[in-house]
Each structure stands twice: as C-alpha cells, then as structure tokens.
C-alpha cells in the first residue's frame, strides 16, 4: 500500500487517494496496537521478574493495573475480530420507539436513549441526535440518532430488539409494579459509493419548526426537514442542525440508508424468514430484561448473561453484554 501511495499520479483520482490513505491508516493502527501490546507485555514481564529478584513487592499494584489495561486492549482486539460482517465497520443510524403503555413506555424509551448515548460516549463515538419527539407528559415518542465511529453498526446491531423494564412506577400513586417495553432498531449509514436510485418525484419534502425534548437533545430552529418516500412510506427527519440545507442533507442520507436496508431485506427474504419476522414490542419478544423490583438484575435472554449492577448498565456499561452477544452469535450462526 505504501508503494501504491508513493506513485506520482496518486492524486489524479482524489477519491481513490483518500480511500487508500484511510485504509492505510486503519491497517497501521492495527499494526501499532499489536506492537504496543507486545511491548507492554515484554515490559511487564521484565518488571515482574525484577521485582521477584529484588523481593520488591511495591510494584504489585502497578503490575496489576497494567495487566488490566492489557486485558482490555486484547478484549477490544478480539471484539473487532468478531465484527466481520459486510457493514459492521459502518456508522449506524439508531432508532428507539416505546411500546404500548403510554407514559411508562415513553419514559423507558428515554432511559434507553440516555443509556445508549452514555455508552457511545464511553466507546469514543461521535453522536448526532437527528430527531427526538417528546412524549405526552414525559419521556419520548421516538428518537433517531447517528453514531459515527469504526464498528458503530456492528456493535449497535447486538442491541437490536425489544428491551423490557420492570420497576415500581414513579408515575403510579399506588406504587404498583409496572412492565414497560421499548425497541431499538439499527441500520448502517451506507457509503455514498453505494448507489440507491431515488426519483425526486417520489419525495415529499416538508419543513417545520424544530420541537422535541429540548435541552441537549434538540437545537430549536425554524429549519427542521421531513422527507417522505411516497412509494414506500419511509420517512426520515432531521432537526438538530442550524441550517435547513444541513438538515435536508442529513435526512436524505438517513432516507438512503433506510431504502438500502429495505432493498437488502427484499433481496434476502429467505434469510429473513430464517431469522423470523420483526417482533412486536411486547411480552415474550424481549432480548433483555432490566428488573428494578422486586430484585435488581439485568438479564440477556439470548446469551443468558446477568449483571446485578443495574445502575451501571443503565449508565452505559454495556461492553460485557455486547462482547457476550458477539461470542454467542459467532458460535450460533
């Protein structure tokens, strides 16, 4: 690749040059990570052996911390090796919708939104909140956000499905236990090189004043854009940008991604039948349960992984669940 990049006519095709540079940077990153881990392991071994020779155990805590960091790096590398799908490296368009149940489910949907924004932050992803529709009296009716970063789609795909919450409702004066449902859907934000034919005549483009949960969720402007693809009824909305042009461009990218996903599913009906139809957002279809009463436990119903620290999970500590799912998926495909 270095030889290819050194050719004098490289920049005659700027798109190809940029793509090559990005690929080289990615490969160099993998090589650097391996070498860094190799060097770290060698240094740790030397420090350990030296401490034994000199009977100096004051470095025990330092070694333990370095080993913990090395394990984290190896775990991240192993995780990437499990993300080998065609679109796993792509950015992701994520949507959250509450199930039946009104305010309870809307509040749960907002809790999920907060959880995934926190997780994205911890993973180092950049997130654009494209559209958040406030619920009646609280919570949200829907949310769409785009996650930018390597393996965003592959990682968020592990969270696709129905999520169930069991708790004493803060909205119930009788303090009764309620069960709420919300779903997460994810599609890859497809590359501009992938062609999706859209006839402008098939689009209805509307502009309106931004509205939503407010605060950090939405920048209130007069330039929100909603694009409807009339033949399919697929809708894409964006209201977080300051200009109408930017909102329209983002909405079009999301629409293209959704149309591409639909076409991909149409071409793979047989596979879709094997996976089963999309489940209703209700009992029996959940991929994970978050129980806050009468006990505290998060349980993934696919991998059977459990975690008692519910607060940490709801605060975005999802890596163990995601890693568990990726290993489960690799052995059950």
CA distances from 13 to 4, 7, 27, 30, 278 (A): 13, 12, 21, 26, 43
Residue ranges of the alpha helices (H) in 124-243? 152-157
- Mean of pLDDT values over 98-106: 90
By mean pLDDT, which of 149-163, 167-181, 209-223 is the weakest? 209-223
Question: 126, 184, 191: which is closest to 152 by C-alpha?
Answer: 126
CB 127 within 8 A of CB 117: yes
**Last residue of some domain: 57, 82, 107?**
82
Q: Tell how strand 161-168 and strand 140-148 pair up.
A: unpaired
- Answer yes or no: are the C-beta atoms of 288 and 261 closer than 8 Å: no
Residues 71 and 125 reside in one and the same domain: no
- In the block, tokens 């392991």 appear at 41
Between residues 19 and 114, which one has the greater pLDDT? 114
Average model confidence (pLDDT) across the chain: 87
Instruction: Read off the pLDDT of residues 109-120 as tens digits, 9 standing for 90 and up.
Output: 999 999 999 999
Query: Would you call 61 exposed, middle or buried from its count of C-beta atoms within 10 A (0-12, 13-18, 19+)?
Result: exposed
pLDDT of 143 over the 70 cut: yes
- 304 and 170 in a common domain: yes
Both 69 and 185 in a single domain?
Answer: no
Residues 58 and 204 in one domain: no
**Tokens standing for 222?**
């007069």
Q: Give the three-state DSSP class for 332.
A: helix
Domain assignment of residue 125, given as a range: 88-333
Residue 217: the pLDDT is 45
Q: Give the pLDDT confidence score for residue 178 in this predicted structure.
A: 92
> Are residues 332 and 203 part of one domain?
yes
Percent of the chain with pLDDT over 70: 90
Q: For the whole model, what pTM was predicted? A: 0.74
**Kind plus residue range of the DSSP H or E element containing 325:** helix 319-332
Residues 200 and 276 in one domain: yes
Q: How many domains does the chain have?
A: 2
Same domain, 47 and 177: no
Q: Are residues 115 and 75 in the same domain?
A: no
The span from the CA of 118 to the CA of 129, in Å, is: 13
DSSP type of residue 86: T
CATH assignment at residue 326: 3.30.70.1660
Helix (H) or strand (E) holding 117: helix 103-123
Q: Is 303 found in the same domain as 173?
A: yes
C-alpha distances in Å from residue 182, one per residue of 136, 139, 157, 301: 16, 12, 16, 15
Handedness of CA 185, 232, 105, 166 (dihedral sign): negative
Please state, in angstroms and as integers, the Cα–Cα distance from residue 130 to each residue in 16, 74, 113, following that order: 30, 34, 13
Q: Which of 58, 82, 106 is the last residue of a domain?
A: 82
197 lies in the same domain as 298: yes
User: 271-281 pLDDT, tens per residue?
Assistant: 444 334 455 77
State percent of the chain over pLDDT 90.
Answer: 56
Helix, coil or strand: residue 17:
helix
Is the domain of 174 the same as that of 37?
Answer: no
Q: Could you tell me if 126 and 8 lie in one domain?
A: no
Over its C-alpha atoms, the chain yields an Rg (Å, rounded) of 23
Please give the pLDDT value at position 16. 86
Give how far the C-alpha of residue 40 lies from the chain's centroid of Cα atoms, to the nearest Å. Answer: 30
pLDDT tens for 55-76 read: 988 899 999 999 988 988 888 8
Which of 62, 82, 102 is a domain's end point? 82
Edge-to-edge strands of the sheet including 92-98? Answer: 126-134, 140-148, 92-98, 177-188, 161-168, 286-291, 297-300, 306-307
**CA–CA dist 241, 130 (Å, integer):** 8
């Amino acid at each position: 690749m270095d030889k290819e990049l050194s050719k004098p006519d490289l920049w005659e095709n700027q798109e190809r040059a940029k793509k090559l540079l990005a690929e080289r940077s990615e490969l160099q990153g993998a090589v650097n990570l391996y070498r860094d881990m190799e060097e770290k392991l060698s240094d740790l071994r030397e420090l350990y052996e030296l401490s034994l020779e000199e009977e100096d155990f004051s470095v025990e805590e330092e070694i333990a911390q370095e080993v913990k960091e090395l394990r984290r790096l190896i775990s991240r590398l192993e995780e990437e090796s499990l993300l080998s799908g065609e679109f796993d490296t792509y950015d992701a368009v994520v949507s959250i919708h509450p199930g039946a149940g009104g305010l309870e489910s809307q509040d749960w949907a907002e809790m999920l939104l907060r959880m995934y924004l926190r997780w994205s932050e911890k993973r180092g992803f950049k997130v654009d909140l494209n559209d958040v529709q406030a619920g009646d009296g609280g919570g949200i009716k829907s949310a769409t956000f785009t996650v930018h970063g390597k393996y965003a789609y592959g990682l968020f795909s592990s969270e696709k499905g129905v999520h169930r919450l069991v708790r004493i409702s803060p909205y119930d004066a009788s303090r009764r236990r309620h069960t709420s449902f919300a779903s997460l859907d994810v599609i890859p934000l497809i590359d501009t090189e992938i062609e999706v034919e859209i006839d402008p005549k098939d689009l209805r483009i509307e502009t309106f004043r931004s509205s939503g949960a407010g605060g950090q969720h939405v920048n209130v402007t007069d330039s929100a854009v909603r694009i409807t693809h009339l033949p399919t009824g697929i809708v894409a909305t964006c209201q977080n940008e300051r200009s109408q042009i930017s909102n329209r461009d983002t909405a079009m990218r999301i629409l293209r991604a959704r149309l591409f996903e639909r076409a991909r599913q149409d071409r793979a009906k047989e596979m879709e039948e094997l996976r089963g139809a999309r489940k209703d957002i209700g009992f029996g279809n959940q991929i994970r349960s978050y129980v806050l009463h009468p006990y505290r436990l998060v349980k993934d119903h696919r991998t059977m992984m459990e975690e008692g620290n519910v607060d940490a999970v709801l605060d975005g500590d999802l890596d163990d669940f995601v890693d568990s799912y990726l290993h489960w998926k690799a052995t059950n495909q």
